[in-house]
């Protein structure tokens, strides 16, 4: 493969990756825990968009339970977002082989 062709391929891949990143920043996933008492929405760029807590779950004596539900839902949402991001980025780099690289 010529250096010129490799550079064109790299530039095209960079452009695709930038478009995918912009798309991922607007794409969301959601996860719930506690039977829907906690809902977390994450963006596929790895950030959280929102956390909703059912007011019925806000009993001060159950604070630890609510905290655990938030952690569970947040981690589930972020994991879903990461899987989507990895899959989308993988599409951009598919078929791009650098000599000597695996």
Q: The whole model's pTM is what? A: 0.71
Chain segment 48-64, per-residue pLDDT in tens: 999 999 998 888 888 89
Question: Which alpha helices (DSSP H) does the chain contain, by range?
Answer: 3-26, 63-93
102 belongs to a structural domain: no
Report the pLDDT value the prediction gives residue 98, as an integer from 0 to 100: 54
Q: Which domain holds residue 30?
A: 3-93
Distance (Å, rounded) from C-alpha 44 to C-alpha 84?
7
The confidence band for 102, taking pLDDT boundaries of 50, 70 and 90, is very low
The confidence band for 75, taking pLDDT boundaries of 50, 70 and 90, is very high
CATH number of domain containing 28: 3.30.1310.10
Distance (Å, rounded) from C-alpha 19 to C-alpha 66?
37
101 belongs to a structural domain: no
The confidence band for 99, taking pLDDT boundaries of 50, 70 and 90, is low
Structurally, the chain folds into a number of domains equal to 1
């Amino acid at each position: 493969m010529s250096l010129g062709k490799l550079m064109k391929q790299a530039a095209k891949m960079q452009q695709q990756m930038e478009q995918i990143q912009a798309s991922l920043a607007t794409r969301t996933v959601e996860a719930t825990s506690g039977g829907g008492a906690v809902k977390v929405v994450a963006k596929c760029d790895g950030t959280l968009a929102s956390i909703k807590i059912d007011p019925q779950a806000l009993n001060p004596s159950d604070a630890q339970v609510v905290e655990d539900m938030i952690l569970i839902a947040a981690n589930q949402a972020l994991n879903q977002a990461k899987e989507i991001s990895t899959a989308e980025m993988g599409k951009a780099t598919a078929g791009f082989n650098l000599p000597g690289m695996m």
